[in-house]
Amino acid sequence: MNRNNAVRRQPAAFTLIELLVVIAIIAILAAILFPVFAQARAKARQTACLSNMKQIMLGEMMYIQDYDGKHSFTWGWDPTWVNWHQQVDPYIKNKQLWKCPDDTYNRGAGVDPVSYSMTLAWGDWSGQYSVAGAAESAITAPASTIFLSERWNGYHQWQQGWATDNWCDDGEFLYGQNNNGVAGVKGHSGGANYGLSDGHAKWMRFEQTLTRQGNQPTAAQMPSWLPQCPSTTASGAPKATYFGMWTTQQ
């Protein structure tokens, strides 16, 4: 066999241009797929958080069966007070469920974080307008009454009484701690997870929570001492017309 013919039959190597084309194609595919992967991971964390809420609400449903149909209360001033999450956790028995995967605030070493807070209108100690300590029979529309929301900050933890409550006007909930951190109200794709008083949980945007429920009176017709809700999360937003899903008055 002619040696020159044998050499000519050997496959040619990739040219520089061909290699650059392949690298460019890989780069384009990566640019397309990486955001998709990031969105998938974010959705998985949101789903895990929603699952946490559902299990916590199941624990709360068991709690009210043992306490004459009355919901747990956030905290109190008596030396023997117990945070509501400590009241409910014996029905759950898993402290890890109390932290949302998207809550990235650092609480320090040896601390059990808590991401979820109970709805309480400041001053409503009798449970007339918000679910904290309210009788189950007083909540006329439990499927549309928010019990649980995401209040994230650097001190919300197992032994801490502060931040166990939340309301639609809370600054940390709306804008993050010191207006400089991740806000729970937008913690998941521009919205947040909420636990409802009938035991289910769902994702909603803040504005959805303020829509009128049933024949609900306007915020102006409610007691003036109730903290007013902003209509949106924008700084300086006007007051909302209704308390929506935040109050038991529906």
For the chain, residues with pLDDT lower than 70 are: 1-14, 33, 36, 76-79
CB of 82 closer than 8 Å to CB of 162: no
- The whole-number pLDDT of residue 33 equals 67
Residue 119 vs residues 5, 197, 230, 239: alpha-carbon distances, Å: 85, 10, 16, 19
Where are any strands of DSSP class E within the chain?
116-119, 146-150, 165-166, 192-196, 201-204
What integer pLDDT is reported at residue 38 of this predicted model? 75
pLDDT at 20: 76
How high is the pLDDT of residue 191? 97
pTM of the model: 0.85
CA distance 155 to 114: 9
CA-nearest of 118, 49, 119, 130 to 85 is 118
- pLDDT tens digit sequence for 149-158: 999 999 999 9
Cα distance between residue 154 and residue 104, in whole Å? 9
Q: What pLDDT is recorded for position 224? A: 95
Question: Comparing C-alpha atoms, which of 104, 130, 99, 116 is closest to residue 163?
Answer: 116
Residue 78 pLDDT: 60
Give the residue among 71, 213, 54, 205 at the shortest CA–CA distance from 133.
Answer: 71
- The per-residue pLDDT for 249 is 94
